[in-house]
Amino acid sequence: MSRQVKAWIVALIALVALPFVHSDPYHLHLLVLILIWSFAYTSWSIMGRFGLVSLGHGGFLGIGAYVTALLWNDLGISPWLGIPLSMATAGVLALIVAYPCFRFRITGHYFVLVTLALSGIVLQVITATRDYTGGSLGYTPRRAGSSSIVALQFDDKVIWYLIALAVWLAGIVIWHWIDRSMIRHAMEAISEDEDAAAAAGVNVTAEKLKITLISALMTALAGALYCQYQMFISPDTVSGIAVSLQMVFAAIVGGVYVALGPTVGAIITILLAEVLRIGFGTKAVGWDNLVYGVLLVLFIIFLPKGILGSVIDWTKSPPKPPRGHEQETVPVARR
């Protein structure tokens, strides 16, 4: 264990030192994107690893991005206050939708499709309120001169890299914290059999709500950060079903059951897109998603634990018996 902690510390020092040694803006840009999206995928996997497959996270991401930007542009509220407000908005929305879902035992396909409706609503609302949000043309937070701490706008990519690194690290820490807390045991019991878990004294609704709330808050933060960094958002890049599927896909390819799985997923997907973009230029439009899609299908059929999860399984011998909810037969309650 202490060896693992040492490895983490060394890796972190290396990551913090990286921009001061190698400060190529393009590489830093890629790293910032990877870190922000890793954080978003990690927040999805916090729910997803327990069988709570949500396609509504595109909605939370969109709320995080748009609420922060709208508050700054229209009311002049600094993102330092706007980001917590946008996270609160996403959290409230998550509770409004999730509470009845869990209360009435909406699981499996039904849960996926209800959350799909949620991200559909957010996308349509952003498009419909085009007088404020610019609709499908996208939206740009107002520039506050060059670099401004109040506006959370920095020209220096190194600062963004360090911010993204800190947030990403916080995401991993939260993942570990949940992994070691009672929530994990409760959620694993729930994902295997809700009734049995309830009979064993697990408050099914409360545990699921906790995990959903944490996941939604983190996703909104990721959306807000993405908006502050890119300084341009459009409904299609931060909300809707395609973004939700993209999150699910990257998390699954990397591996949902290990802490760094979503990060590996983000590295693979973003590098793949960049390599194809550089290699083929505008001819590459669509090719990256084509490769994604094929990979996603192949992964679900052959490597349901994702790349990192499978690699860890191979290197560890003898293989640990899989935990119940990772086995082939997850009974999904249906009516």
Partner 1 sequence: MQSFLDIFDIYFLEAVINGILLGGVLALLALGLNLIFGVIDVTWICYAELVMIGMYGMYYLVQYFGLPYWAAAPLVILLVALLGAALHFLVIAPLLTAPPINQLLATGGVLFILQSFATVAFGIDFKNLGIRLPVLSLGDMNFSYARLLSFAAALLGMIGVYLFLTRTFTGTAIRAIAQDRQIMPLMGVDPKRLYLITSAIGGGLAGLAACLLVLQYDVHPFVGLSFGPITFLICVLGGLGNFIGGFIAAFVFAEIISLGGLFSDLEWGYVLAFGFFIVMMFIRPAGLLARRS
Residues 38-57 as x/- pattern, contact with partner 1 by CB under 8 A:
-------------x-x----
13 versus 300: smaller Cβ distance to partner 1: 300
Please classify residue 141 by burial: count the beta carbons closer than 10 Å to its beta carbon, then call 0-12 exposed, 13-18 middle and 19+ buried. buried
- Identity of residue 100: P
Which residue of 275, 294, 322, 324 would you call a contact of partner 1, by CB under 8 A? 294
174 versus 248: smaller Cβ distance to partner 1: 248
Cα separation, 266 vs 246, whole angstroms:
10
Give the closest residue to 233 by CA, choosing from 94, 67, 56. Answer: 67
Distances (CA, A) of 102 to 94, 204, 211, 212, 314: 12, 8, 12, 10, 36
225 versus 248: smaller Cβ distance to partner 1: 248
271 binds partner 1 (CB under 8 A): no
149 binds partner 1 (CB under 8 A): no
What is the CB neighbour count within 10 angstroms for residue 104? 11
149 versus 330: smaller Cβ distance to partner 1: 330
162 versus 198: smaller Cβ distance to partner 1: 198
Q: DSSP H helical segments within the chain, as ranges?
A: 2-21, 25-48, 57-70, 79-103, 108-128, 130-133, 157-180, 182-192, 194-199, 204-230, 235-238, 241-254, 261-280, 287-302, 306-315
Residues 108-127 as x/- pattern, contact with partner 1 by CB under 8 A:
xxx-xxx-xxx-xx--xx-x
Distances (CA, A) of 230 to 1, 153, 160, 165, 225: 38, 10, 11, 16, 8
72 binds partner 1 (CB under 8 A): no
Which residue in the block uniquely carries the two structure tokens 């909810």? 325
4 versus 131: smaller Cβ distance to partner 1: 131
Which residue of 233, 288, 307, 312 would you call a contact of partner 1, by CB under 8 A? 288
Residues 227-266 as x/- pattern, contact with partner 1 by CB under 8 A:
-------------xxx--x--xx--x--------------
CA 138 to chain centre: 21
| In the complex, least distance from residue 195 CB atom to partner 1, rounded to whole angstroms | 13
279 binds partner 1 (CB under 8 A): no
Question: Site residues (CB under 8 A) for partner 1?
Answer: 51, 53, 97, 100-101, 104-106, 108-110, 112-114, 116-118, 120-121, 124-125, 127-128, 240-242, 245, 248-249, 252, 285-290, 292-297, 300-301, 304, 328-330, 332, 335
